[in-house]
Amino acid sequence: MLEGFGLSDAGCVRPNNEDYFISDTASGIFVLADGMGGANAGEYASRLSAEKVYEVLLSSPNDHRIEALEHSFVEANRAVREAARANPELDGMGTTLLAVRAVHDGEVQVASVGDSRAYLCSNREFSLITHDQTWVNEVGSQLGLTDEALRKHPMRHVLTMAVGSMDELRVDCRPLHLNSGDQILLCSDGLHGVLEEKILHQTLDSQKSLPEKCHYLVDAARQTGGPDNITVVLIQLM
């Protein structure tokens, strides 16, 4: 059985929160989105895409093919692009999208677009299980630049893929087996972009409850200055 808890905070700088999450332990569906766009377009894109993924997955609970999870992202992309075409004020909006769904006892599937991340904490080991679709990760890292140069590069925040950015969507999907006690951390870059991985690891490896861990991480990101919206969804196999 999966347990989950989610928390989202605007941070200390942004006037609004363009992140959105769904944490439904009953259905085993967890979604996180980090929107972008002018005015309120980012908020709209993140909510629309997350709710579309949730709706599509709920409508076919017995379809455990990983292609079904990918299809829910394709439908989310279609919904965001159609909404942008229908309303000029939403033109150019987009969002990252990250989802985990349970398919069998201990078996989950993970899908992502953009740079929101999923980490696995298993047997006290901590690892990144998603792939950042960013210029730094997919282009800059191939140019021989140092890690320090990449961290300061003006293209460091540029996504190479986002829901709503183009008709053809490249979704990274993978199955994952969990053992009892394993945890999956879903987070926007307002968390992983400001806190070192060792802090994330130490927090998940602590004896705190899931809500306590989420609140601790959000507070820690705010204490660094909270330059972006901060969203955390923590899932654990009991």
- Res 37: pLDDT: 80
- Res 40: pLDDT: 78
Q: What is the pLDDT of residues 9-56, one digit of tens each?
A: 999 999 999 999 999 999 999 999 999 986 679 999 999 999 999 999
The CA-based angle 219-224-229, given to 5 degrees, is 65
Residue 14 DSSP label: -
Mean predicted lDDT score pLDDT of the chain: 93
Query: CA–CA separation, 98 vs 87, rounded Å?
Result: 25
Cβ atoms 91, 97 nearer than 8 A: no
- Res 158: pLDDT: 80
SS3 47: helix
Strand order in the sheet with 117-122: 2-9, 230-237, 183-187, 117-122, 125-128
More reliable by pLDDT, 203 or 1: 203
Cα–Cα nearest to 188, from 83, 128, 114, 108: 114
- Res 136: pLDDT: 73
Cβ atoms 123, 136 nearer than 8 A: no
CATH of domain 2-130+161-237: 3.60.40.10
**pLDDT exceeds 70 at position 152:** no
**pTM for this model (two decimals):** 0.94
Q: What is the pLDDT of residues 158-173, one digit of tens each?
A: 899 999 999 999 999 9
